[in-house]
Structure 1
Amino acid sequence: MNPKPSPKLCLVEDDEIMGESLVDRFRLEGFDIEWHRRAADAHRAIGRQGYHAVISDIRLPDFAGDILFARLHESAIEPPPFLFITGHGSIERAVSLLKAGAADYVTKPFDLDDLVLKVRQLCRNHAPAPPAPVSHPLGLSPAMQRVEATLRRLATHASTLLITGESGVGKEHVAQLLHDMACAGRERPFVAVNCGAITESLIEAELFGHERGAFTGAARQRKGVFEQAHGGTLFLDEIGDMPFAMQVKLLRAMQDRRIVRVGGETAVPVDLRIICATNQDLRARVEAGTFREDLYYRINVVHVRIPLLRDRPEDILWFARRFLREFSELHGGEPRTLSPAAEHALLAYPWPGNLRELRHCIERACVLCGAAELQPPDLFEDWRDDRLPDARAVGTLDQYIRECERRYIEGTLAHCSGHIMQAAAHLGISRKNLWEKMKRLGIEAAR
């Protein structure tokens, strides 16, 4: 009979003496404990290790323990029970953490026996969740969660779908997610083609294939994307750029689910889901006479619109951190993190290129920056911190410091969507202290 595995703990503590004492004691008590001295290191480990509990100091060298707790929730990572070690008169801060979902706290100096009992009880009441299956989540924003819920309803029914949104918002990613949901783990083809990238003379052969000798250079029979996607999903991107003369043939193929190869005579049945996407206003194209009305109604059976990235700020940092992990693994380097200033810079930028631009921004920073923590200049070549006032226009040193504080608090509140407790955690102060500063600086709370 295999022995029961030891409870696995995560310790986040920068004090060497305290850390060594806790590691030694908990190992003597039969725990498997991993010690991290920085919050960023713990953040990466908690997302993949499956701990029974976390013991974390609040004051840490890179960012506070309560910010670590908040960022885990922001990252859609369900953290294990957190027990905080607190001191320096920050009981009120610890109480606010309990309200935010922390399991418990102890104050310095604490009784080590009492701490072991608390942790043992937490481990009895919590079993680490198994690793989450690979998925393609669309983000944390309510708008994208609604899109994901819509896709789940459509996965087993919709055979035709129209996705709209500006260039770079992730339309192909949404199409891929619907395909994965519909296939439910079965291996099925997903074929994507950009209708605007194919010349008018070749698009019919690209879509429907051709027989040998159908035209000069056709040395052998070739299947088109309709046949390649048989049994799966065909993604027709930039459908608005489809040549007008080709639209009627596409409509016939979509209605009949049968195609005829160029140079052929026999109709070939195809069974597939067709997802179309465009960044254009197809209704306006219909009115202008450049897009067939019957094809418009055929592809617009179900319409999913993807909002701009700047209209869903909750997703900006979530995707930025996801891209950081992806590029760190791809290039085999140390995992990167974003400084608070870098997070503010990302949230303040309007992202005209949407997710595609954000991905390129993070990739460039990972390639060019050698530091583990990215700063705003690493992300934006022409970055300028507009939160800092012009010293010549402010006046005295006290006035300058007051204006800096006001702008930084306003930026943090915007980053936290007006949530006072989250903003206080990011700022490293208590909720009461933040309220007092807001009152003194004339900052109004969001309603």
Structure 2
Amino acid sequence: MKSILKSKWYPGIFQWPTIIVFAVILYELLIGIADSHNNFGTAMTWIVWWPIIPLVFLLAGRFWCAICPFATLSDIIQKFVGNKRAVPKFLQKYGIWIIDAMFILITWADHVYGIVESPRGSGILLLMLITGVIVTGAFFERRTWCRYLCFIGGLAGNYSRAGALELRGTPEKCSKCTVSACYKGSEKAPGCPMFEFPKTMDNNARCNFCGYCVKNCPNDSISVSARVPSKELWFIRKPKLEESFLAIVILGIVLVQNITMLEVWTDIQQFLGKMLGTDSFSVIFTAAFIIAMAIPALLVYLTSWVASLKNSDTPLMNITRFGYALIPIDFAGHMAHNLFHLLAEGKSVIYTGLALFGIKHEGASPALVSMETIVFLQYALLALGTIGSIYTAYRIAKASYKKEQIVGSVVPFTILMLGLVAFNIYLFLLPMSHRM
């Protein structure tokens, strides 16, 4: 892995093919067939890329961020017209909160305006993101968009903390270094695009495995190693409320995505319509969305309050500290939901791709495997995620509290996680609708 990162061909050998594919996807979304069921861009974006991206974060950290077409575009814009101004203090302080808000807003807009079901809607969303990338690349230094504003980057940061790979500097070598080429850059490669200093880096939240620090380091100090998934979550030195809040947000978003795909969603809409005295879908969905987002937040707060009775922390501190323990179950629920789209509709990518060349597959099933197999994999993921979250909560408590406080701190969160997985299992038992 380290030899790959050192190669002069990396990451460009991945970046340029990705840009070409992205250009085809964007063209199809904006100019191609308007029917999402027959649009190659829709299939590639929402049936392939979106379902597998969490798995990439788990297995290879933020590797996607190293080859993402938005990041490459930002580098190009900065090279030719960039002013390279310092990142505003406001973004440095509130960037994660902006990412949280963007995640919530885009999820809401998807359901209200049908972004996923509309190739044009998906294309417009990408154009809006491209505009943000161009503006930040033109005015600010390095990858300001990726670090402080990209909602995918926020998701990547959380999931990469539980990832199976880590990149670190060797303390003995770094302590003697006076060059700091890993951060500043050299003739071999630019400095760290994500504003990270490997000498002091203790987490994977913002490292995108671009390899620049590996190429630049004159002391061969940077190491890449495998680790137990979620291990980093056990020893967060400075937990941040905004990062834990994003984990809670993801719980709510997965809940929204699951419920709106169920047949019972129609009954829920009718019930809320009667309660609110309206038949406006926007109003009804907004109410359902607020409820679905509030439920996990309230449950986590209640659990944190109960835990605070047994340890010395306030409920807010417990949310901040134990919010990281939700990341494994977040990943499991998110991936289990996405597996349905990937495996039940995966062949639609092949069919829509062949349709670009006039080859039709009318009436052919888009499923890659049987529904029984999908359900088994979903349950396996949920089980592993629950075990990971419970064990992470235990390790966090063990590292943070006295021996007599550990059980009282862990049990409430264990009950919460078991309740969450039980509800998710129930949802996956119900019939779901397809995207394509």
Indicate whether the TM-score tops 0.5.
Answer: no
User: Normalised by the shorter chain, which TM-score bucket?
Assistant: under 0.3
Bigger Rg over Cα: 1
* Larger helix proportion of the pair: 2
Q: TM-score when scaled to structure 2?
A: 0.27
Q: Which has the higher contact order (CA 8 A, sep 6+)?
A: 2
* Larger strand proportion of the pair: 1
